[in-house]
Amino acid sequence: MLELTPLLNPERDEPLYAQLYTYVREEIREQRLVPGRRLPSQRSLARHLGVSRNTVDAAYQQLLAEGYVHSEARRGLFVAELPDDLPPSGRRIQEKDSPHGSVQAFGTLPEQNRRAAPTCDFRYGDIDTDHFPFKAWRTLAARSLSAENAHLLLYGEARGEMDLRKQIAKYVYQARGVSCRPEQIVVGAGTPYLLDLLRRLIGDGGRYAMEDPGYLRARRVLEESGRSVLSIPLDEHGIRVDRLAAAGANTVYVTPSHQFPLGMIMPAARRLELIQWARERGGTILEDDYDSEFRYEGRPVPSLHSLDPYGNTVYMGTFSKSWMPSARVGYIVLPEKLLPAYRQYEDLFKQTVPRIEQHTLGLFMESGEWERHLNQMRQLYKKRYTALHEAIGREWGDSVRVVGSAAGLHVVLELGGALAGLSEQDAIDAAKRRGVIVYGGSVFRHDPVEKTPVRLLLGFAGLSETKIEQGISLLGQAWRDPER
């Protein structure tokens, strides 16, 4: 009677309800469940599958919302007649009322779930969640959430909590050589938000340039100034300062610690060139040090900010990689020259990060827990990086080059040799058919280039070593036989 027997795997990244939803949807789409057929009751299916009723409920709600089933009062759910022109399912989930935030990723990968949920998603932006110090954080959060700290309920300083800014000042000095007073630091709800604030501080005179390929969101934020953002090509050392100087910009957004997306580390000489450019131009460097915490080889190169004696560099940091992406805590270190402009904006936007969260993060850093967590993550990610790097070598040898340095939470693969004939889209599609999600590098490019090898972006922070090896092996199969 209960013909629904999906293989639900709690170890997958995808929540159980989404796996169940995908399974039932495919059963309906492929007419194994025919229109008019009644679905099992939530209770009986939950018992049958050994999952909670909430899981079944969430899957059923999704199916209902998308019109795959309809409800009849007191009788239950029935498989609906499907129209012929059904749009790709991924997109629809995002448009409709999806019961969990985690489904959102489907929306950005429209085709991903047509066949099956992915086995391995090399999504960039994920972190490891298995080793998060929930207990330590709960303890500190409970301490913040007490009547003694009642003042934390009220508006705080626009720049952020002083306690937290002091900890950040200490950290950026020790880890990145950034020397600043806490009052130069502004905390805010994420890098795009803070970049938008910087755009306002720089004002109408800002003529922006950035790396190409580069961080898309940064481009779109800066383009809000109503002007186009100039694209500056890269060489193996990062942004080409000669081309920057020729372009006529006065403000440049760069990712020198680990170029996004290509991953090269800008050597000191190039950094000094850039600093010299800013000096001569009377310009400003926006240094986004987004994942500098993670470096697996060699000596760290000091931040651009620490090398710039002229005060033309804004240092930008984030806790998205080193703590959690969903906390939305970033910070900028303003040079003295931007402080007067900041004071004018200080009243406009109140602080955007909850005060209690800031206070807890301050305690977390002060207690040394953050440092401990960071060290643990560094080791973990290094293992994952190594596993990925080795698996790539084993799988493809010289046909795939890993671009960039041993740092950060993603790698870029450049296809060559036997794989040189594969287009980016074909490589992505073939992978998808094997349940592996990889991301095209071409979207990060702004100006078209004549001939460029196919590049794919693989985030690894959220995947275990086993998962990584499995994923690369599937990717090997997929690209050996891309038509299947």
Report the residue number, 152 or 474, with the smaller CB distance to a copy of itself: 152
CB of 94 to a copy of itself, least distance (A): 8
Binding residue for a copy of itself, selected from 32, 70, 170, 350, defined by CB under 8 A: 350
Report the residue number, 260 or 277, with the smaller CB distance to a copy of itself: 260
Touching a copy of itself, residues 178-237 (CB under 8 A): 181-183, 189-190, 192-193, 200, 217, 220-221, 224, 226
Asked whether the beta carbons of 317 and 289 are under 8 A apart, the reply is yes
Report the residue number, 95 or 447, with the smaller CB distance to a copy of itself: 95
The verdict on 11 binding a copy of itself (CB under 8 A) reads no
Binding residue for a copy of itself, selected from 30, 74, 85, 146, defined by CB under 8 A: 146
CA angle centred on 207, ends 205 and 213, rounded to 5°:
155
The one-letter amino acid at 188: G
Touching a copy of itself, residues 12-51 (CB under 8 A): 15
Report the residue number, 98 or 405, with the smaller CB distance to a copy of itself: 98
Report the residue number, 218 or 265, with the smaller CB distance to a copy of itself: 218
Report the residue number, 200 or 401, with the smaller CB distance to a copy of itself: 200
Count, residues near a copy of itself per rule CB under 8 A: 69
The one-letter amino acid at 480: R
The verdict on 349 binding a copy of itself (CB under 8 A) reads yes
Touching a copy of itself, residues 445-464 (CB under 8 A): 462
The verdict on 394 binding a copy of itself (CB under 8 A) reads no
Touching a copy of itself, residues 117-136 (CB under 8 A): 125-127, 129-130, 132, 134
**Tokens at 131, concatenated:** 């080793």
Report the residue number, 5 or 108, with the smaller CB distance to a copy of itself: 108
Asked whether the beta carbons of 464 and 127 are under 8 A apart, the reply is no
The one-letter amino acid at 466: T
The verdict on 53 binding a copy of itself (CB under 8 A) reads no
**Peptide linkage before 10 cis (omega within 30 of 0):** no
CB of 133 to a copy of itself, least distance (A): 10
Report the residue number, 78 or 132, with the smaller CB distance to a copy of itself: 132
The verdict on 328 binding a copy of itself (CB under 8 A) reads yes
CB of 288 to a copy of itself, least distance (A): 15
The verdict on 67 binding a copy of itself (CB under 8 A) reads no
Reading across the β-sheet that carries 410-415, which strands appear in turn?
A: 400-403, 410-415, 455-459, 439-440
| Residue 288 backbone phi and psi in degrees, to 5 | -95, 110
Asked whether the beta carbons of 223 and 371 are under 8 A apart, the reply is no
CB of 462 to a copy of itself, least distance (A): 7
Judged by the rule CB under 8 A, the positions of this chain that interact with a copy of itself are 15, 94-102, 104, 108, 125-127, 129-130, 132, 134, 137-138, 141-142, 145-147, 150-158, 161-163, 181-183, 189-190, 192-193, 200, 217, 220-221, 224, 226, 324-329, 347-357, 462
